[in-house]
Each structure stands twice: as C-alpha cells, then as structure tokens.
Amino acid sequence: MVLALLGILKHGQPNDTFNTKRLFRDAFVEFVATTLFIFSGTLSASSTGKKLALGQGAAEDVGRVLPIAMAFGISIMTLAYSIGHLTGGHMNPAVSLLMFFRRQMSATKMIFYWIAQFVGAILGASLTWGCVSSLAGDPVLNGEFKRPPFHLGANTLDPTMTAGNGFLLEFMGSVVFFFVIAQTALDKRGIADSMFPAIPIGFSLVVVHICLIPFTGCGVNPARTFGPSIVVCMAGGDCEAVMGDAYWIYWIGPFLASWAVAELTLIMEMDVDGVEAAT
Amino acid sequence: MVLALLGILKHGQPNDTFNTKRLFRDAFVEFVATTLFIFSGTLSASSTGKKLALGQGAAEDVGRVLPIAMAFGISIMTLAYSIGHLTGGHMNPAVSLLMFFRRQMSATKMIFYWIAQFVGAILGASLTWGCVSSLAGDPVLNGEFKRPPFHLGANTLDPTMTAGNGFLLEFMGSVVFFFVIAQTALDKRGIADSMFPAIPIGFSLVVVHICLIPFTGCGVNPARTFGPSIVVCMAGGDCEAVMGDAYWIYWIGPFLASWAVAELTLIMEMDVDGVEAAT
Amino acid sequence: MVLALLGILKHGQPNDTFNTKRLFRDAFVEFVATTLFIFSGTLSASSTGKKLALGQGAAEDVGRVLPIAMAFGISIMTLAYSIGHLTGGHMNPAVSLLMFFRRQMSATKMIFYWIAQFVGAILGASLTWGCVSSLAGDPVLNGEFKRPPFHLGANTLDPTMTAGNGFLLEFMGSVVFFFVIAQTALDKRGIADSMFPAIPIGFSLVVVHICLIPFTGCGVNPARTFGPSIVVCMAGGDCEAVMGDAYWIYWIGPFLASWAVAELTLIMEMDVDGVEAAT
Amino acid sequence: MVLALLGILKHGQPNDTFNTKRLFRDAFVEFVATTLFIFSGTLSASSTGKKLALGQGAAEDVGRVLPIAMAFGISIMTLAYSIGHLTGGHMNPAVSLLMFFRRQMSATKMIFYWIAQFVGAILGASLTWGCVSSLAGDPVLNGEFKRPPFHLGANTLDPTMTAGNGFLLEFMGSVVFFFVIAQTALDKRGIADSMFPAIPIGFSLVVVHICLIPFTGCGVNPARTFGPSIVVCMAGGDCEAVMGDAYWIYWIGPFLASWAVAELTLIMEMDVDGVEAAT
C-alpha cells in the first residue's frame, strides 16, 4: 500500500479538479446518492426486524438475510444507474480509494468524495431514525426496542466470532465486491466497452451481503459502517455495541482490499497478445 | 410547489394534447397497465397471507416481505417494458406529476392519466376481490377472514408508528423511487440514451417495498393506495382501517416527493462543462 | 374466440410449414425446452417441500412461494434466451395460440408445437419423478410421502376456493403474463426492436406465480398442468386430486386469455399518428 | 463420449496454446475467479445455517434455499461478467469439457483450466474455513458445531435418496445448466451475437440450485464438490460424510452431461435453411 502510494506520487494521477464547478457538483451527487443508499439499506434492517419481532418472537431468522441483502445491493444497482454517468457512482470511500489506486481520480477529488460519502451516510442513518423513532412495545425484547431500534442497522461483529474472523470476512467480502467493480468498470476490453456495469456490481453486493450479514452485519464500506454507528452514539444508543473492539475491521478490511484488488486486476490486465491493452 | 406551478404557468409545458386520438389511446393504455399492476400487487398480499395463516398461525412473518415487494416492483418493471414506448409507463399519479414538473407532459394530459390510473386501480382491486372472495376458515383469525380478506392489500399504518413516522416513510420512500425514475428516464446523458430504464425503476420499487411494507404497507403511489381502500369500503369491509386518520400520508408524501425530486434532479443536471445539457 | 377463428380462416395466416425440415427442428427444440422447463419447475415443488417437511413440520409455508416462483419464471427466462432465436421460445400451448391469433404462426405449426409441448411436459414430470422416487419417511405426514411425492408439483385448487375463484385466477394470471409477452415480443415500436424480451417475460411469470401458487398452484400453461397430472395418474398417485372437478380452469383460463390478450393488444397497437404501425 | 473423443482426435481442436503467456494468464484468471466463486458459495451455507441455528433451532429450513442458490448462481453471473472476455468464465471443469467437446478449446488448454479450477476451489474453501473457524456454541447441536462448521458447504447426498436418484439429479441439473450455456454462448445466431450471456447463465444456476440443494447440495461442478470436501478431510472433519459412497455422482453426473449437451445442442444447430450456420 505504501509502495502504491509512492508510485502514485511519482507517476501522477489524473488532474480532474481544475473544473471547480464540476468538482462540487460531483461531490453533491455522491452526497445525495450515499444518503439514499444508507437510508434504504439501514431501514431494511428495522423493517425486517420488526416483522419478525411481532410474528415469530425471534430477532434472528434466515428470512431476514435476503431482503436486507437486496436492499443494500439493489440500491447500489439502481443508484449507480442513476448517477454513474455523473460521478461513477461510488457511494463507498473504499471504492473511491480503489479508483485512486487505479489512477481513475486524483487524491483531491477522492477527498471531496469521502467527505460527501461520510456526511451522506450520517444523514441517511438519521433519516432512518426519524422513520422508526416510535417503534416500541415489542413483546419479545421486554416490551421495548433499544432506542434507536435495531442499532439503526449498524455493523456489529457476532459474539461467536473472533476479530480475526471478522477481519478476514470484511477483507474477502470487499475483495469479491471490488474485483467485480474493477473488472466490469475499468477493463475496456470487457463489458465496460458496451454497457454500464450496474447489474454485476449491484448483484455482487447482494451476494456479499448474503455471506456476511449473519457474521459482521456486512460493511465492506466504511461510510456504511460509520453513518449508523455515529448516529446511534449521538442519540444515546448502545455506543459500545456499535463502536466496539472490532470496529477497526470495518475500516482496515475494505481499505486494504482496495489496494489488493487494484494490484490483482492490474496483473490480470497485462498485455498477453503483444498489443497495449486500452485501459 | 406553488413556485413550481407558477413557473410552469409562466413558461409553459409541452402541448401534447392536440392529437385527441393519441390522448385517449394513451389514457386507455395507462388504465389497462394500472389495472394489471394493482391486481398483481394486491393479490400477492392475499396469496402470501393465506400461506402463513394455514401454515404458521401468524399473519406477520418476514417471509412475506420479499414476495410482496417483488409482486409490486417487478410488475412495474415488466409493465414498463410493455407500455413504456406508448405512454412512458407511469401507473402512478405522483410519477405523472413528476413528469409534469419536469415539463415532460401537459396538465391536460396529466389529468387524463390520473383518471385512467385511479379507475384502473379500482378495477385492479376489484379483480383481486373476485379472485379471493371465498377465502374463509382461517383457524387463526377465529375461523374467518375479515371480508374482503387481508383488506385487499390496502395500505394501513402500523399501530406502533406515529403519523409523522408514516409521513416521513412515504415521503422518503417516494424520493428514493422517483429519484431513480428521473435520473434514469430523463437525463439523456445517462443510461436513458441507450436503454429503456425498466430494470432500475422496477428494482428500485422492490427495495422501497422491502423497507416500507412492515410500517406503512408501502404506498408511494396514490392510485395504489386509493384502489384497494375504496373497494374495501364499498364492499362493507373495515373502512376505518383502510381510510384512517393517517390516510393523508399516502397522498401528501408521494405528491410532495414529486416536487422535491423534480427540483433536486434539475440541480443535478446543471451545466458544469460549459455545454448546454440535452434534456 | 369463434369470431377470431373465422377471421383467421378468411384472412389467412403465415405459411410457415413449407420447410418441413425446419418444422420438425422447431418442434424438437420446443420439446427439449418444455421438458427442461417442466422438470425444473416441478422439481422445485419437491425440493422446497422436503426442506419444510424435515425442518418445520408443515408443508405450508410462505417461504416456498418465492423459490418455486423463481424456478418456473426464471427457467422460462433462461430457456427463452436459449431457444428464442429458433422457435420463439413458447413452451406453453396457450402462448402458441396467442401467436396464432396474432397471426405469427400457422395452425399447422401450432399443432406441431402443441404436440411437442405436451409430450415434453410428460417427459419433464417423469424425470422429476425419477429424481425424487425414494423420498419417504416424512415425520409429519405419518412417515410417508404420498407417492409420487408432492403430486410431482401438479396443479390443485385450494379447497377453500370455488371453481369460479380458480377460473378468474387462472384467466387473470394468464392475461398478465400474455399481455407482457405480446407487448414486448410483438410490438416492433417497443423493446422488441432492440432486445430479446426474455427478462420481462420471465420475471412476469415469477410475479404471476407469487400471486397464484397458494390458490391454484399456478398453471397459466395447459402443458404445465397436463404433464405432472398425467404422470401422477399413470404412477398410481392420487389421480382425483390432480384431475379433479376444477381441472377445466387450467385449460379454459389460459386459452381464453390467449384470445383476450390478442384482441386487447391489437387495440393498443392502433395507429394514432396517421402512420401504419410496423407489426 | 468415447466416440466424441475419437472424433476430436481425428478432426482436431483449436490450437490455442501457442501463446504461452496467454495460456498462463488465462489459467491464472480462472484460478482467481474460481477461488472467489467457491468462497462466496460455500460461505453462504455457513451464514444462512448460523442464522437458523441461533434463531429457530433447526438446520433445515426452506428459507436457506434461495439465499444459497443466489450466492452460487449470482456469483457465476457477476464473475462471468468480470472475466468472460479473458477466459470465457468457466469456473467449472465440466463446462471446460463441454467447450472441448464443442471444439472451443484444445485438450491442453482444458487441462490448464482444470488445474486452475481445482486449486482455486481448494483455496476458496480454505478461505471460508478461515472466516468461520470460531463458530461454536450452537445451542441446538449440543453446544458445538462440527468442525469445520456446516462441512464448509460440501455436497452430501440426503440420506433419504438413493445414489440413483442422486445421479439423475446431478446429471439432469447439469444438463439444464449446460444447455443454457451452450445455447446462449455458442450459437452465434442467438443472443451470443449481441450480448455476453452472463444473465441467463447465472440465473440458470440459481434455478438448478433451488431444485437440487435439499437433495444433493447441488454440485453440477466437480471443482465445487472437490474443494470443500478435500478441505474438510484435511482439517479433520467428517471425511466420510463429504466423500461418501455417493461421491461419484458429483463427477460422473456433470461430466456425462457435458457430452450429452454437446451432442444435443449440435443437433439443434443443424442447418435447416440451406445456409451453413455460423458457429
């Protein structure tokens, strides 16, 4: 990672910040889209949880996995279709870092995107809280939801797992997701040439959520982890649960995967036919 | 909203009503499609509810969320594919209002669409009632379904929620859905240039349903709310339940979102490259 | 329907049978695809039923609806992608009748397709039986599955429904499905011009299954109804259950919908712009 | 099969191994993709199993079928989108054999792919084990998961089924899947001409998993069967369960289907119009 950064400092990155108007417009678009993404995703945790609480007396049910996975993954698909032509449709700081490593954007622009993404995540989680603020009276949890209910969908590591398990899950889940992003969006010899890859990218996130929700809650996106956790803390919720000892796995896992996938996909793009690949 | 209306009065709208034959054809197509949409969506509430009633003795189960969400969302996708080239495939008065605000259709044409959509919704809900009129004998609900069964899928606000929660849910759910519609169908620099956006639009409605079904039943469409509720009332069902104190949220929420999304997406289409955007 | 037939006799149909080699090839392809479709669909009824029987002690669970709906609907999508360029990918006698009414194929060719579809359905259901012939020992059903297990997924009308309900369900379900087929495959001004409509057609069948499975088992395809029922009867299963008093609804419903949708979609294709529509 | 091999020996196959650099690059890409595919698929078996274990006290639930089916099937779709332009995106030795029988690749290249696929499957299953190594304390299974938990998603034949049932299931499931692959990827008169067929191929695997998971666990891919089983054996797990008497069905079934589908789809591509088909 240090080597990659040094290489970038030496070889340079795109200078995409001269158009200030466009820079702010793009950051604004990322902010709006991340808000809607975090809102849709985290609200699904409450909606599916409430159903269960009233119906079956158990907050843990395999029936929650697919609806939540689709709320996150399909939201990315529909929002990427909506803003892809404007900003690329990242909605994820680690994806922006991947694009920086692959020299698709400058460090300055990445910082703008990061701010937009983290602020959008806070607003999205706050809107979720506004929507479910009255939830109470669950007969299972002693008549009360912990406020804010369902930790607003914040990521928590399942107590049976070690932090090492959690890190490997967040790292590998991010690798799977980012691998599909890099290969379908950046390799111009592939489908990136003829279609906008919202379907493979969104559905890949669905798969990663199916695999990770029961273990880590599925982050693979530091903004998605940060937004609900900070709102839970500010709202007097169980701050220790949502920013516990394993909080680092949701940051190091995805960001490390950005670097690993950038390197791996560059190897795969190597020129094997004696012709310079157009990337 | 008032300002938007004043602006429209001043600057004008498309004059798309000179071809009377086409106007009536389009309204007829919207009527047919809305009928089939409301039929498919509301019938799924009864079909999944019946399974549960016989099988698990509980009308509340997280397993109902995804099938109902798909019945509504995927129906919009398949019907938009079917009639998009004729009418745009609205099947939703608030979507028609959004198109009016974005100056894609005249007020006259919008009124024609509205009438077609509301009448279609009544017919769709009536057909659902005809299909399930014999449902009875549920061992859980004291041996009887309330007729019409499952309120024909009418929207009701969950009793644990305040009307304020409900309004925010309907407003934000509509914002998510309409944002995807406006960005994928109207921005000619995006995918609207190369494909008909039925996939992002339909799947976005799936996500919104996953998030809203357990709380408001998910309206985000005044015709979808109106049709089943009026049929339940006319059929001697529990009129108070389906047109209760919170009935307004299903009307103000979506219509207000039409205005908010029209303004928001216009901002996002601003010209940042010194070239006039082609919209 | 009689009028439509008379009109066809007077005005003629495509003469697509002069190439005998092609006629037999197409019938063979329809036979293979219908076999695979019926196999996939009916096997899912046993696979999801077995899971439940062992796990929850109840053959009725809302969790079965979506997997079965996808097995039928998505199979149609993938097989239509596979053979659409050869035969159109009907796999359904009522769809072939719709194509006949819309003058896309001759009566002779339709008869060839019908024979291929019914024989393929018998083979598909037989293969399902071969796959699950050993299923036994279910603790719920007194230690034994009725052989063949799960009636091989044959259509049966839920005992709480009248035949009138069942007929309306099969008719309306077919209308929804066939409407999408006609509009996306035949109207050359729509998406039929630029893409093969396997996605809207397949996903429409998913929605119809979500709505109909708990009530009629979801036929909307006389071959799909016929195949499993005849194999159950020949295999000494409960013939009365799978060819009961309501057996007619699975035949009259879809075939009547073929005529209704042919007429309805012809109205929608009327020339409103003074230019002859290219269909 | 012997005849097909003899025919190939006589008529020759593509000489696609002269470019050694490309041969190794392609094998490396197949290795990476198979690793990610096996990781995503087998991890979903643990993730959905854990949910159930804690929530409902039963490892058998119909709610597991669809998430696992999507983890496998949709992974193939997203990875095929990612690497299809480089290697074709097989990730399955029996698919490579199908391509060999259809003369799309040489025996040498197939061997390279096979090695890459089997090694990738071992690495993928190992990564799954690393992710869930701490799972323990399940109150249902006497306080302990059998290590490695959930057999790492290895294929096992349900005890109520005979090996004959299992073989027919694996053979027919493979036929359905490979039929869609051959028709959508190889017949240049079909959709292969205008799109990369990742959607029909991936969703076809979803359907096959819905049908086979409760019976055989769904192999239809010798590498997918081999990876988890060898890791379970090496890790001191229940080797007899994952490499039992019926282990052969996961090898003979798919490989035999490769031959059957190669022959069947060649028949379907016969020239019926007097013009040589371009395949």
Position B57 pLDDT exceeds 50: no
Burial group, residue A163, by CB count within 10 angstroms (0-12, 13-18, 19+): middle
**With an 8 Å Cβ cutoff, is D29 touching chain A?**
yes
Of B64, B175, B184, the CB nearest to A82: B184
CA distance B91 to chain C (A): 15
Say if residue D160's pLDDT is above 70. Answer: yes
Chain C (216-255) residues lying within 8 Å, Cβ to Cβ, of chain B = none
The predicted pLDDT at position B15 comes to: 80
Query: Considering chain C, what is the average pLDDT of its residues?
Result: 88
Q: How far is CA A18 from the centre of its chain?
A: 28
Residue D105 has phi, psi (to 5 degrees) of -150, 155
User: Inter-chain contact C62–B55, Cβ cutoff 8 Å?
Assistant: yes
Interface with chain A: mutation pick from B61, B179, B211, highest number of A CBs within 10 Å: B211
* Confidence at A255, pLDDT banded by 50, 70, 90: very high
Half-sphere exposure of B86 (CA within 13 A, CB side): 33
Judge whether residue A278 has pLDDT over 50.
no
Residue bearing the bigger pLDDT, D236 or D263 = D263
Residue C242 has pLDDT above 70, yes or no: yes
Task: Take residue C194 and report the two structure tokens written for it.
Answer: 């630029």
Q: How far is D150 from chain C (nearest CA, A)?
A: 16
| Residue C226 DSSP label | H
Note the pLDDT of residue B50: 78
Instruction: Tell me what percent of the residues of chain A surpass a pLDDT of 90.
Output: 69
The pLDDT, as a whole number, for residue D277 is 42
Token duo for residue A231: 């709102």
* Nearest CA-CA partner of D155 in D47, D270, D38, D269: D38
User: A207 in contact with D at a CB cutoff of 8 Å?
Assistant: yes
Q: How confident is the model at residue C56, as a pLDDT?
A: 46
Q: Quick check: D211 and C132 CB within 8 A?
A: no
pLDDT digits (tens, 9 = 90+) for C253-276: 999 999 999 999 999 988 787 654
The yes-or-no verdict on residue D130 having pLDDT over 50 is yes
Is-contact C8 C97, C-beta < 8 A?
Answer: no
Percent of chain D with pLDDT over 90: 69
Distance CA B264, CA B245 (A): 30
Residues of chain B numbered 78-97 and touching chain A (CB < 8 Å)? none
pLDDT in tens, A47-91: 998 766 554 444 467 889 999 999 999 999 999 999 999 999 999
pLDDT tops 70 at residue D43: yes
Q: Which residue has the higher pLDDT, D87 or B144?
A: D87
When comparing pLDDT for B165 and A279, which is higher? B165
C210 to B44: CB separation less than 8 angstroms, yes or no: yes
Cross-chain Cβ contact C50/D197 below 8 Å: no
D49 chain-C contacts, CB cut-off 8 A: none
Question: Above 70 in pLDDT, residue D12?
Answer: no
Mutate to test the interface with C, among B131, B138, B141, B195 (most CBs of C within 10 A): B131
B59 and A55 within 8 Å at the Cβ level: the answer is yes
Residue A202 with chain D: CB contacts under 8 Å? none
Of C168, C172, C200, the CB nearest to B77: C200
Nearest CA in chain A to D84: A190
Q: Is C162 on the interface with B (CB under 8 A)?
A: yes
Q: Which amino acid is at A70?
A: M
Residue A24 CA to its chain's centroid (Å)? 22
∠ Cα A114 A117 A123 (to 5°): 140
Per the CB < 8 A criterion, the answer to whether C42 and C125 are in contact is: yes
Which pLDDT band holds residue D10 (cuts at 50, 70, 90)?
Answer: low
Whether the predicted pLDDT of D275 surpasses 70? no
Cα–Cα distance, B201 to C202 (Å, whole number): 17
The pLDDT value recorded for residue A3 is 61
What pLDDT does residue D179 have? 98
What would the pLDDT profile of B140-177 be if each residue is shown by its tens digit? 444 455 578 888 999 999 988 999 999 999 999 999 99
Interface check for C211 against chain B (CB to CB < 8 A): the answer is yes
- Cβ contact, residue pair A67, B64, below 8 Å: no
Which pair of structure tokens corresponds to residue D99? 């391509």
The string of pLDDT tens digits covering residues A184-208 is: 999 888 888 788 899 999 999 999 9
- Confidence band for D6, pLDDT divided at 50, 70 and 90: low
Two structure tokens written together for A204: 């890949």
* Domains by residue range for chain B, with CATH: 20-135+150-266 (1.20.1080.10)
Flag whether pLDDT at C149 surpasses 60. yes
How many Å lie between the alpha carbon of C132 and the closest alpha carbon of chain D? Answer: 6
Is pLDDT at B178 greater than 70 in this prediction? yes
Amino acid at site C56: Q
Residues D78, A208: C-beta atoms closer than 8 Å: no
Q: Which chain A residue shows the shortest CA-CA distance from D60?
A: A62
pLDDT band at C145 (very low <50, low <70, confident <90, very high): low
Local confidence band at D59 (pLDDT 50, 70, 90 cut-offs): very low
What confidence category does residue C182 fall into, taking pLDDT thresholds of 50, 70 and 90?
Answer: very high
- Tens of pLDDT, residues A131-183: 998 875 444 444 455 578 888 999 999 988 999 999 999 999 999 999 999 99
Least confident of B38-52, D2-16, D251-265: D2-16
Q: How far apart are CA B230 and CA D34, in angstroms?
A: 55
pLDDT above 70 covers a percentage of chain D that reads: 86
Question: CB of D61 within 8 Å of any CB in chain A?
Answer: yes
The answer to whether residue B28 scores a pLDDT higher than 60 is: yes
> Which carries the bigger pLDDT value, residue D2 or residue B49?
B49
Comparing B133 with B15, the larger pLDDT belongs to B133
HSE-up (13 A, CA, CB side) for residue C11: 10
pLDDT-based confidence at residue D58 (cuts at 50, 70, 90)? very low
Least confident of A100-114, B112-126, D228-242: D228-242
> Tokens for A145?
């939801």
Q: How far apart are CA A32 and CA A28, in angstroms?
A: 6
* Residues in B touching C158 (Cβ below 8 Å): 50
Q: Does B165 touch chain A (CB under 8 A)?
A: yes
The answer to whether C165 faces chain B, any CB pair under 8 Å, is yes
Mean pLDDT of chain D: 88
ipTM above 0.90, yes or no: yes
Chain C residues touching residue D58 (CB < 8 angstroms): 55-56
Is the pLDDT score of B262 beyond 60?
A: yes
Least confident residue range of A12-26, C111-125, D50-64: D50-64
Contact flag D268-C51 (C-beta cutoff 8 Å): no
Candidate from B25, B82, B134 with C-beta closest to C161 = B134
Contact criterion met (CB below 8 Å) for D64 and D52:
yes
Q: Residue A68: name the closest of D40, B206, D55 by CA.
A: B206
**pLDDT for residue D253 is more than 70:** yes
| pLDDT for position D49 | 84
Helices (H) and strands (E) in chain D, counts: 10, 0
Query: How far is residue D249 from each of residues A34, C125, C126, measured CA to CA in Å?
Result: 48, 22, 20
pLDDT confidence bin for C53, thresholds 50/70/90: low
